[in-house]
């Protein structure tokens, strides 16, 4: 396939963009891609930070000729009330300025986290048994309480009673481990 720009060299850069269900493809040689701004990074300037910020950055100018950022609807720029960091700055550098940024940009973080973490947005972590102490019991009790609520909603009262008894048993065990008396 030959370059769609110069029609002299083979096309080695292939760009595809889908906007509102409309697919646009461009096939150009590397030289024309650099000249027309289709390639933003040279090999020597590309960093891991650029890659990660690319995951965060879902808005901005199109790499396709003839399309400008004005074709996209303008969105209000989010800004952290504490440190003043904007969402665009966060997307560019890939780091937050403070803890309040997590709350400010919360609605835009879940899609990013799903992409980065294979669909997960919650991290439960692991607790070593010898170091966790009663945390394992507390976690197990919380899981049983969730299960109990579901059983009650489904009107499975016999299973709910068994679950309730298990919760009481674990809470007694937890109370004894913490040095309490019954």
Q: What is the secondary structure of 2-62 as a DSSP string?
A: B-TTTSSSB--EEEEEEETTEEEEEEE-HHHHHHTTS----GGG--HHHHHHHHH---S--
Mean of pLDDT values over 49-66: 52
Q: Are residues 114 and 140 in the same domain?
A: no
Task: Calculate the average pLDDT of the chain.
Answer: 76
Binning the chain into helix, strand and coil, the percentages to the nearest 5 are 50, 10, 40
Q: Are residues 112 and 148 in the same domain?
A: no
Q: Write the pLDDT tens digit of every residue in 58-106.
A: 444 445 444 444 444 555 678 899 998 888 888 788 788 898 888 888 8
Binned at pLDDT 50, 70 and 90, residue 1 comes out as confident
Q: Are residues 17 and 64 in the same domain?
A: no
Q: Are residues 75 and 114 in the same domain?
A: yes
> Is residue 141 assigned to a domain?
yes
Q: Which pLDDT value is given to residue 61?
A: 46
The model carries a pTM of: 0.33
Looking at 92, 108, 123, the residue that finishes a domain is 123
Q: Are residues 137 and 118 in the same domain?
A: no
Lowest-confidence segment of 25-39, 43-57, 88-102, 103-117 by average pLDDT:
43-57
* Alpha-carbon torsion (56, 60, 62, 63), positive or negative: negative
How far is it, in rounded angstroms, from Cα 166 to Cα 145? 10
Neighbouring C-beta atoms of residue 40, cutoff 10 Å: 13
Q: Are residues 112 and 75 in the same domain?
A: yes
Q: Which pLDDT value is given to residue 166?
A: 94
Q: Which pLDDT value is given to residue 132?
A: 66
Domain region containing 161: 129-177
Q: Are residues 23 and 58 in the same domain?
A: no
Q: Write the pLDDT tens digit of every residue in 140-181.
A: 899 999 999 999 999 999 999 999 999 999 999 888 877 655
Q: Write the pLDDT tens digit of every residue in 106-131.
A: 888 777 777 776 667 676 667 666 66
Q: Are residues 119 and 52 in the same domain?
A: yes
Give percent of the chain with pLDDT exceeding 90.
Answer: 19
Q: Are residues 114 and 54 in the same domain?
A: yes
How far is it, in rounded angstroms, from Cα 21 to Cα 58? 16
Domains contained in the chain, number: 3
> Is residue 182 assigned to a domain?
no
> Is residue 164 assigned to a domain?
yes
Measured in Å, how far apart are the chain's first and last C-alpha atoms?
A: 81
Q: Are residues 35 and 65 in the same domain?
A: no
Q: Is 146 exposed, middle or buried (0-12, 13-18, 19+ CB in 10 A)?
A: exposed
């Amino acid at each position: 396939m030959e370059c769609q720009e110069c029609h002299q060299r083979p096309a080695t850069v292939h760009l595809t963009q889908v906007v509102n269900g409309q697919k646009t493809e461009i096939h150009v040689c590397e030289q024309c891609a650099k000249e027309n701004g289709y390639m933003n990074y040279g090999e020597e300037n590309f960093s891991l930070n650029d890659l990660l910020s690319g995951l965060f950055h879902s808005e901005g100018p199109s790499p396709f000729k003839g399309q400008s950022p004005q074709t996209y609807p303008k969105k209000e720029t989010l800004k952290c009330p504490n440190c003043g960091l904007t969402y665009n700055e966060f997307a560019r550098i890939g780091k937050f300025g403070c803890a309040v940024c997590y709350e400010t940009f919360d609605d835009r973080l879940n899609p990013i986290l799903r992409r980065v973490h294979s669909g997960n947005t919650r991290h439960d972590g692991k607790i070593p048994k010898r170091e966790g102490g009663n945390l394992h019991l507390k976690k197990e009790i919380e899981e049983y309480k969730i299960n109990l609520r579901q059983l009650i909603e489904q009107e499975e009262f016999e299973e709910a009673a068994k679950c309730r008894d298990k919760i009481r048993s674990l809470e007694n065990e937890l109370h004894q481990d913490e040095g309490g008396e019954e």
